[in-house]
């Protein structure tokens, strides 16, 4: 068997492919819902203790809890917990100033 041949030269690099489409925007926290404000798909708001996400571009024509066409519930508010125990009595306040005698003439 004969000796192995030498390696050939590497070929040139290929051209880069085109960039893919831009992905969807994630959730944008927009704080408390404001009636009449403008919202876009992905805006998240709080309303009455729950969290909602805009499913359409809208101008807040109605509250998220009653507008399933524009909003979707992300997280529902929990129920109120039991009342806590009464706190200890506070310290007595300072004694007030003495009244001044009334002068009659």
Domain with 71, as residue range(s), is 28-75
Q: What is the pLDDT along the chain (105 residues), one digit of tens a residue?
A: 788 889 999 999 999 999 999 887 789 999 999 999 999 999 999 999 999 999 999 997 789 999 899 999 999 999 999 999 999 999 999 998 888 888 777
| Domain assignment present for 83 | no
Closest Cα partner for 45 from 60, 25, 29, 69? 29
Q: How many distinct structural domains can be found in the chain? A: 1
| Domain assignment present for 88 | no
CATH number of the domain where residue 47 is located: 2.10.10.20
Tell me the CA distances in angstroms from 81 to 47, 74, 77, 78, one per residue in order: 19, 21, 12, 9
């Amino acid at each position: 068997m004969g000796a192995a041949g030498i390696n050939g030269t590497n070929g040139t690099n290929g051209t880069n492919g085109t960039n893919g489409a831009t992905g969807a925007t994630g959730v944008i926290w927009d704080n408390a819902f404001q009636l009449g404000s403008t919202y876009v798909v992905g805006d998240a708001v709080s309303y009455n203790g729950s969290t909602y996400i805009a499913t359409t571009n809208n101008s807040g024509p109605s509250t998220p809890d009653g507008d399933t066409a524009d909003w979707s519930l992300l997280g529902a508010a929990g129920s109120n917990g039991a009342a806590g125990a009464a706190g200890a009595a506070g310290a007595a306040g300072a004694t007030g100033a003495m009244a001044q005698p009334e002068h009659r003439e």
